[in-house]
Structure 1
Amino acid sequence: MRLISHPILCNYYVTYRCNATCNFCDIWEKPSPYITLEDAKQNFSDLKKLGVKVVDFTGGEPLLHRELPELLKLARSFGLITTVTTNGLLYPKRAESLKGLVDMLHFSLDYANKEKHDTARGVACFDTVMESIQLAKSLGERPDILMTVFEENIDEIEKIYQQITLPNNLVLILNPVFEYNEVETGPSLSSSTLDLLEKWAKHKNVYLNEGFIELRRDGGNHIDKPICKAGSTTIVISPQNELVMPCYHLGIETIPIENDLFNLYQSEKVQAAIAMEGRYDACEGCAINCYMQPSFAVEMNKYWWKALPSTLKYNRIKGTWKQLF
């Protein structure tokens, strides 16, 4: 049963540029401009009219955008919840200007070991993440640690949890790795790893959407009966101010927004693409978290029920539920 028919999330790619070269991501290889304040202001207005609640300022590395504070202020002026994930390299320099503007601030950290983390990210950023945690706390921010979980770093969860998140009273977000396009992300998560992740979801200050685990056990999205609702739940905007359909990772088509996102989204062309959500050949087996999370939220099924406890837990800890009403 469909509970929400309108889009609820915008993945706003402020740039594809990145100052890291993570071995499980290819976005840093792409040339890219930066979004403009003028385009963003019109888009925020249209996103609000379309029913979107959350804008994820993403990339690339979003802190590379020099006008990110202004973009965040604009989004919040339209009543939109803001979220930013960063590798931490630029946070010490930008922290003061970002203070109070990010509702959900995530620092990426995949290992409790400096050498291993820096190797995976292709740049020395472990120390700046540690510095960023203390600086953010001193400014009254409540950052989260976002850990991408692979087969090879599953044992790092305990170390990050005990050494970093608990002592700093942070939330540890566990993000199971997903495959996409031709990017090498390592072996699929084993059954034993999924079992272990499910146990971690019950820990204090740990957030893991258990719908992600259930979906992987079911073999991901299936095109004959799709779980993915990427097109109807998530609006993806590129640095070139284009609507990306049906999602960034598949990226079959990009459509210039031309200052009219509201009407473009409701156009016959876009609605036809939305009708194909989860049904393209490339959608078979997909388990991309950033589209499954909103997909689980809008339709009551077993994934909705699996996702519910973790969603309530995170919103209670962070207080973001108050902004949804």
Structure 2
Amino acid sequence: MRLVRHPVLCNYYVTYRCNATCGFCDIWERPSPYVTPENVAENLRDLRRLGVRVIDFTGGEPLLHRQLDGLLAEAKQQGFITTVTTNGLLYPKQAERLRGLVDMLHFSLDSPIAEEHDRLRGVKCFDKVMESIAVARSLGERPDILFTVFEHNIDQIGAVYETICKPNNLVLILNPVFEYNEVATGGQFSAESLRKLTEWGRRKNVYLNDGFVQLRRDGGNHIDKPVCRAASTTLVISPENKLVLPCYHLGLQEFPIEGKLYDLYRSAEVQQLVALEGRLPQCEGCAINCYMQPSFAVEISKYWWKALPSTLKYNRIKGTWKSLL
């Protein structure tokens, strides 16, 4: 049963540029401009009309956008919940300008060992994450640690939790890696690793959407009975100010917005693509967290029930549930 029939999230790519070269991501390889504040203000008004509640200003590395604080301020003024994920390289210098503008601030950290984390990210940024944690806490911010889980680092979750998250009273978000296109991510999770993830999700101040685990046990999305609701729950806006469908990772079509996002999204041409969400040949086996999380939230299914405890837990910890009422 469908509970919500309008989009709830916007993945707003402020740039594809990045100051890291993560091997499990190919976004940084793309040439890219930066979004303009004028376009963002226009699009936010239309996103609000369409029912979107959360804006994820993403990239690339979103802090490379020199006017990110202004974009966040505009989103907050229009009543959105905001989220930003950063590798931490630029956060200490920009922290004061970003103060109070990010509801869900995530610092990426994939290992408690500096050399290993830096190798995964292709740049030395472990020390900057540690500095970012200290700076954010000094400003009264409540950042999270976003840990991208691979088969090879799943046994390091405990060290990150005990030595970094608990002493700093941070939420640990476990983000199981996903495969897409030709990007090498280290293969599938074993049954034992999936069990470990579920167990970790039950710990205090740990967020793990158990729907992600169940979906992997089920072999991902299946086009004959899709669980993905990417295009109807999530709008993707590119740095070129285009609407990308059905999702960023497929990116089959891009439509120039030209100040008419509301009408564009409701147009027959776009809605024809929306109707194909999860049913395209490329969608078979997909388990991309960015789109599955909102997909689980809008339709009652076994994934909705699996996702519910972690969703309630995180929103209670962060206090964002109040903004969703």
TM-score by length of 2: 1.00
Which SS does the other structure have where 2:315 is aligned? helix
TM-superposed CA distance for 1:287, in Å, is 0.2
TM-superposed CA distance for 1:155, in Å, is 1.0
Q: Write the mapping of 1:256-271 to structure 2, written as runs, cut at 5 A.
A: 256-271=256-271
CA distance in 1, matches of 2:298, 2:282: 22
Partner of 1:152: 152
Partner of 1:171: 171
CA distance in 1, matches of 2:80, 2:205: 25
Which SS does the other structure have where 1:235 is aligned? strand
Which SS does the other structure have where 1:254 is aligned? strand
CA distance in 1, matches of 2:28, 2:316: 34
2:224 aligned partner, one-letter code: D
Partner of 1:41: 41
Partner of 1:245: 245
1:28 aligned partner, one-letter code: W
Which SS does the other structure have where 1:227 is aligned? coil
Q: Report whether the alignment pairs 1:69 with 2:69.
A: yes
**TM-align CA RMSD:** 0.4
Q: Report whether the alignment pairs 1:108 with 2:108.
A: yes
Deviations 1:113-172 (A, max 9, x none): 000000000000000000000100000000000000000101110000000000100000
TM-score by length of 1: 1.00
1:81 aligned partner, one-letter code: I
Partner of 2:230: 230
1:134 aligned partner, one-letter code: A
Partner of 1:214: 214
Q: Report whether the alignment pairs 1:279 with 2:279.
A: yes
Partner of 2:83: 83
Q: Write the mapping of 1:12-23 to structure 2, written as runs, cut at 5 A.
A: 12-23=12-23
Partner of 1:126: 126
TM-superposed CA distance for 1:210, in Å, is 0.3
TM-superposed CA distance for 1:187, in Å, is 1.2
Deviations 1:235-284 (A, max 9, x none): 00000000000000010010000100000000000000000000000000
Which SS does the other structure have where 2:167 is aligned? coil
Which SS does the other structure have where 1:105 is aligned? strand
Deviations 1:263-316 (A, max 9, x none): 000000000000000000000000000000000000001000000000000001
Identity %: 70
1:44 aligned partner, one-letter code: L
Structure 1 residue ranges, 4+ long, deviating more than 6 angstroms after superposition: none
Provide structure 2 residue ranges, at least 5 long, that are not aligned to the other structure. none
CA distance in 1, matches of 2:15, 2:182: 21
Which SS does the other structure have where 1:175 is aligned? strand
Partner of 1:50: 50
TM-superposed CA distance for 1:54, in Å, is 0.0
Provide structure 1 residue ranges, at least 5 long, that are not aligned to the other structure. none
Partner of 2:189: 189
Which SS does the other structure have where 1:306 is aligned? helix
TM-superposed CA distance for 1:319, in Å, is 0.3
Partner of 1:96: 96
CA distance in 2, matches of 1:265, 1:127: 42
Partner of 2:316: 316
